[in-house]
Amino acid sequence: MWGWDHMNGYGGWGFGWIFMILFWVLIIVAILAVVRWLSGGVAGGSGDKSALRILEERYARGEIGEDEFRRKKKDLSS
């Protein structure tokens, strides 16, 4: 009576479930993107560095000397 052609021949389990999963994944990703955008952007960007981290990078590149590094580090910690 029903034969092979009934509901794509798989009892209704064609490729529709793949599209449903993709749909929900896209919805979740969109929600996470909006939450991240509202909370101030992407973490780890150049605007997210702490002052101490920038100071350490400048010292490592040789832009400032050891005395200046220690003095500024002390200012930041107090």
Give the C-alpha separation, 16 to 49, whole Å. 45
Radius of gyration of the chain (CA): 28
Q: SS3 for 52?
A: helix
Tell me which residue has tokens 């002052």.
51
Q: Where are the domains of the chain?
A: 16-77
What is this structure's pTM?
A: 0.40
Give the C-alpha separation, 59 to 68, whole Å. 9
Tens digit of each residue's pLDDT (9 = 90 or more) over 23-70: 999 999 999 999 988 887 655 455 557 889 999 999 999 999 999 999
More confident residue, 16 or 22: 22
How far from 57 is each of 38, 39, 43, 74, 75, CA to CA, in Å?
29, 26, 18, 16, 17
Token readout for 36 is: 């991240």
